[in-house]
Amino acid sequence: MMRWLDRFPLGLLIALALWLAIAPVLPEPHLIEKLRMLSQGTLSRPIDIFDLLLHSVPLVLLAVRLWRRNGSR
């Protein structure tokens, strides 16, 4: 079921995850802004929820890929 993630190039996944985690750099990364909004309870607009997902999904996929890679050893 998750073989597609195992076949995805790890270097590309790392680059994508890091790039989206810090984009845009100024004035502050969207991921930090959206997590702050989530903790304050102000994350309610659909565009903000989409933005949080867009910037966090590659990090989650990277974590799952690394967990599966280390778990198979």
- 68 is written with which tokens? 């599966």
Q: For the residues of 12-36, what is the DSSP string, one character each?
A: HHHHHHHHHHH-S-SS--HHHHHHH
Which pLDDT tens digit goes with each residue over 32-67?
Answer: 888 999 999 999 999 989 988 989 999 999 999 988
Say how many domains are in the chain: 1
* pLDDT classification of 8: cutoffs 50, 70, 90: confident
- The reported pLDDT for the residue numbered 61 is 92
Q: For residue 34, give both structure tokens.
A: 């959206």
pLDDT digits (tens, 9 = 90+) for 19-31: 988 888 888 888 8
CA nearest to 68, candidates 20, 60, 21: 60
Q: What is the DSSP letter of 8?
A: S
User: Domain range holding 45?
Assistant: 3-71
